[in-house]
């Protein structure tokens, strides 16, 4: 297996942390304030359901990429 330099390893770990921080509010915080968002933006319930399903859709869409990335860079 190919060893990554320390700088690349730190960059990958930092990138994963930033992505997880970015996704967390989208997944956990939108639900309780949906009615407030809907009223402020004056959108339909259909649009709001799309807003809440986008993160889940992206996780399902991009999850298969985790295996090739893991094979390329390894677990560490």
Please indicate, yes or no, whether the overall pTM of this predicted structure exceeds 0.75.
Answer: no
pLDDT tens digits along 35-52: 888 888 888 888 888 877
Q: What is the mean pLDDT of residues 60-69?
A: 85
H runs (alpha helix) in 1-76: 6-28, 34-41, 45-62, 66-73
- What are the residue ranges spanned by the domains of the chain? 22-73
Contacts of 35 (CB under 8 A, 6+ apart): none
């Amino acid at each position: 297996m190919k060893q990554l330099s320390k700088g690349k390893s730190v960059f990958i770990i930092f990138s994963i942390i930033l992505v997880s921080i970015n996704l967390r509010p989208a997944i956990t915080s939108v639900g309780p304030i949906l009615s407030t968002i809907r009223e402020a933006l004056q959108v339909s319930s259909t649009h709001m359901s799309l807003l809440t399903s986008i993160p889940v859709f992206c996780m399902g869409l991009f999850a298969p990429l985790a295996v090739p990335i893991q094979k390329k860079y390894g677990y560490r």
